[in-house]
Amino acid sequence: MSKKQVKSISKEILNKAFIESFKKFDPRILIKNPVIFVVEIGFFLTLILTINPSLFTENEADLRIFNGIISFILFVTVIFANFAESIAEGRGKAQADSLKKTRKKTSANLLKEDGSLVVIDAGSLKKGDIVIVNTGELIPNDGTVIEGIASVDESAITGESAPVIKEAGGDFSSVTGGTRVVSDKIKVQISVSSGESFLDKMINLVEGAERKKTPNEIALNTVLVGLTLIFLVVIVTLFPMGLYAGVHLPLSTLIALLVCLIPTTIGGLLSAIGIAGMDRVNKFNVIAMSGKAVETCGDINTIILDKTGTITFGNRLADDFFPVAGIPKDEMIKYSAISSLKDLTPEGRSIVELSKKLGIILAEKDFDKAEFIEFSAQTKTSGINLENGQKIRKGSGSSIKKFVQEQNGDIPKDLDNIIDRISRLGGTPLVLAVDNKIYGVIYLKDTVKPGLKERFDNIRKMGIKTIMCTGDNPLTAETIAKEAGIDEFVAECTPEEKIEVIKREQAQGKLVAMTGDGTNDAPALAQADVGIAMNSGTIAAKEAANMVDLDSNPTKILEVVEIGKQLLITRGALTTFSIANDVAKYFAIIPAMFIAAIPQMEKLNIMHLSSPMSAIISALIFNAVIIPLLVPIALKGVKYKPMNVQIMLLKNLGIYGVGGIIAPFIGIKFIDLIVTPFLSILGM
């Protein structure tokens, strides 16, 4: 997905949301939101009373204008609630439209069983078909590279301009339909049928077409319905109580009170908050397979992290040289640089660069006739054979010891101590030998990414435990864990052990998140409560996870957890604000209803509203306008900072609880000052 996504509410989104607001007025659609559905019923009842004020009682004939005003405000309230949801949906659909533009009409070079090629429409491809994709051509559908290696431009999906290498075998063999091959040629086996590609799934997800309510949403919805039923019972009992007190309560007034007391604010914003949560994750270039996955992130207790590429950069770079006893350091540095002159790996280049910084500068042309020995998985060494017959090798401790012993050389007594010391530092020891003599150890350091320690400290403040799983030895794992601020580590970890770690945490009642990209990570991703697969990874990993990171950045799990926390906090904060609003509305409407028959009720009119009718209308207007005013908070989310849960609760109660009580007092009084002159003109 392009990073140039919809970052604001455009005029086009607003126009579409306005139209959708009226479409959602259909009771068959609105019944899915019970609170706002009650408001719609109130609108229809007051509309009937506006047309025929005496339909239910004979003494309400003079309330036609009042009923009409109430009916109009209730209509606007429903429209505002629909508008909030439509804006959130509109942003998702705008993202989907941008994705649809990347889906072009593509042809495919289908490889037939007899070895011939036939050009067909990509939409005709079936799962299992084999296609040839040449330089400059679009990959017709999702699949796996089964032959060849090529650079693939995935910018249409990820927004990243740098091509990625895709090759047969391993964890980087999956390709996505709609991406372009920029070099070489690959043979791809199609893994999905037409309409089931990763891009198609992304479009469906960001459109929200298949979005289902999450468990927390369902629970909160149940609470809101419960509150609505309670207030409905209260309002129904008010009518006979009023008659007993000698007060006739018009039906429109009772409806106004019901609408003001039920949690219409959060009822109108609840769906928008959920959609916006998924939208924020999508804009972060992470595709969430469901709203539940985003929400679960907010409740995560444990994060499982890989070391290489997640906590550390992954490229081991030369940091220092440790010669064995009797070898001058300059001489060791010189031979280290010679062995790496033609070594194009990050390790080799870093050795040459560090040598230059330490004053050892070599002319490459002096070694043109030397034979470079590339690294071999069998020998676990690399190096160079000089023109004078010298053989220089660098590699693991065991492989270099073997190389020296084969030439009847001796092993320095202090070599193992140097290797052990480097391992304790969290580095990789690379032993250097010239012919049958060991010169020393090159210290390769896998550097912890800057700022990670602070971020893990923030994660810890949320009450989340971090566990690093790595294939490194215990000494290296311990050092890296300390440097990064990881709570716990598992060294020499196998894929099976990752699953065991997840199950162990889940057995303690914890929710677990993890990242992965390989086929061997798929079982663990499926086992975790939140599994984030890298887009560069295998199809198996992406299918097992419930989130896919399009940027293939394993550290993004930290941000995703924060987005999940923000979603839950936003919902809680606006729920608190909505319920706290009722206090002010109570002081506005209850005195207005009974003040004529019970003058003592004037003491409850602490806002000194001008008249009973203006009080009811002002409270109802405030109840309606507060919904669109809170839409930006629902979409953007409440600002989140890692802190203790109790402190966070008190802070939100202080801001949104107290604010929810104070704001309506100010708002209703202000609206009263505006509407009073108009009501006077109407003779009310």
Q: Which residues are catalytic?
A: 306
Establish how many alpha carbons lie within 13 A of residue 420's alpha carbon, considering only the half-sphere containing its beta carbon: 5
- Residue 377 annotated in ligand binding: yes
454 is in an annotated binding site: no
Q: In which element (H, E) is residue 534 found?
A: strand 530-534
Q: Are 516 and 525 in contact (CB under 8 A)?
A: yes
Alpha helices in 262-358 (DSSP H): 264-283, 291-297, 329-340, 346-357
How many other CB atoms are found less than 10 A from the CB of residue 198?
24
620 and 592 Cβ atoms separated by less than 8 Å: no
Residue type at 462 in one-letter notation? M
What three-state secondary structure class fits 414?
Answer: coil
Long-range contacts of 191-198 (CB under 8 A, 24+ apart): 191/127, 191/142, 191/143, 191/144, 191/539, 192/127, 192/141, 192/142, 192/143, 193/125, 193/126, 193/127, 194/122, 194/123, 194/124, 194/125, 194/126, 194/141, 197/141, 197/142, 198/142, 198/157, 198/542, 198/548
* Angle, vertex CA 105, rays to CA 102 and CA 111, nearest 5: 115
Whole-angstrom Cα distance, residue 149 to residue 8?
Answer: 40
**272 assigned binding-site residue:** no
Is 381 part of any known ligand binding site? yes
Is 343 annotated to bind a ligand? Reply is: yes
CA dihedral (615, 617, 619, 622) positive or negative: negative
Residue 62, marked binder: no
Q: What tokens appear for 40 in the block?
A: 């719609």
Let me know: does 283 contact 451? Beta carbons within 8 Å. Answer: no
- For 10, phi and psi rounded to 5 degrees? -80, 170
Reference 206, options 298, 287, 101; nearest CA is: 287
- Residue 213 CA to residue 21 CA, distance in Å, equals 20
| Cα distances (angstroms) measured from residue 189 to each of 135, 318, 350, 542 | 17, 41, 39, 17
Instruction: Report which secondary-structure segment, H or E, holds 649.
Output: helix 645-652
Look up tokens 């909160």; give the residue. Answer: 220
517 annotated as ligand-binding: yes
Residues near 132 by Cβ (< 8 Å), separated by ≥ 6? 109, 111, 117, 185, 186, 187, 188
379 a known binding residue?
A: yes
CB proximity list for 312: less than 8 A, separation 6 or greater: 446, 447, 448, 449, 480, 484
Task: Judge whether 556 is annotated as a binding position.
Answer: no
First to last CA, the chain: 57
Asked if residue 105 belongs to a known ligand binding site, the reply is no
375 is known to lie in a ligand binding site: yes
Residues in the chain: 684
Cβ neighbours of 617 (radius 10 Å): 27
- Give the relative orientation of helices 556-594 and 215-244 as an angle to the nearest 10 degrees: 10
SS3 (DSSP) at 386: coil
- How far apart (Å, rounded) are the C-alpha atoms in residues 603 and 590? 11
Residue 315: name the closest of 481, 122, 444, 464 by CA. Answer: 444
The reply to whether 378 sits in an annotated binding site is yes
347 is in an annotated binding site: yes
Binding residues for Mg(2+): 517, 521
Binding residues for ATP: 343, 347, 375-382, 394
Binding residues: 343, 347, 375-382, 394, 517, 521
